[in-house]
Amino acid sequence: MEITIEEQSDIRIIRLTGRLDGTTMKQLEEHIVQLVDQGCNKFVFDYRNLEYISSAGLRVMLLSVKITRSSNGKVALFGMQDNVAEVFEMSGFFRIFEVFQTEEEAVAYLVS
């Protein structure tokens, strides 16, 4: 799993490449906790290169929502592949995430 983080004013764009599962979730969790500690609460997740997400992966995503909620933060996702979208669909996670087609839309949602 490869994670790169880009700054765009007060937004952090987190780009994920590979599989987000029980073995890689810890990596992402550390990044998120660190960013929140630095005072960030607006995250865009770039899912274009995310090949797979397990229920353990969903837990980290849930963490990003729970951890930013208390400070009125926002989380947006974009570029989801079909099999990842299926997991979000099946687990009902679409209900707690704002999911967009493009990066521009996702960023625009956080700015609004």
Partner 1 sequence: MEMLSIACVALAVMTLLAVAGAWVYRKEWRRTKKLFDIGLQLNATIKRKDLLQVIMETASRTMRAEGSSIILQDETTGELYFEVATGGNDEQIKEIRLKPGEGVAGWVAKTGESVLITDAQKDERWSNRVSAKVKVPTRSLLCVPVMSNGKTLGVLQVINKKGGKPFNKRDLTLLEMIASPTAVALENMFLYEALLDSMQSLRETTVIKEKMESELKIARGIQYSFLPGHDLYMRKTSLHASLVPAREVGGDFYHFIELDERRLLLCLGDVSDKGMPSALFMSAIMIWIQAKASAASSPARILEEINREISQEYSTMFATLFMAILDTETGHLRYCDAGHCPPFVLGKGQVRMLETAKHLPIGIFADEQYEERDIHLQQGESLVLYTDGITEAENAEGEWFTTAKLNQVLAEHADAQPSEVIEVLRNQVFAFADGHPQSDDIAVLVAKYGEMSGL
Interface contacts to partner 1, rule CB under 8 A: 22, 55-56, 58-60, 62-63, 66-67, 89-96
Q: Least separation, in Å, of the C-beta of 94 and partner 1?
A: 8
Q: Least separation, in Å, of the C-beta of 9 and partner 1?
A: 27
Which CB sits closer to partner 1, 6 or 59?
A: 59
Sign of CA dihedral 100, 104, 105, 107: positive
Q: Which distant-in-sequence residues (6+ apart) come within 8 Å of 31 by Cβ?
A: 3, 5, 14
Residue 15, token pair as written in the block: 């780009």
Which CB sits closer to partner 1, 91 or 101?
A: 91
Q: Least separation, in Å, of the C-beta of 37 and partner 1?
A: 14
Which CB sits closer to partner 1, 8 or 55?
A: 55
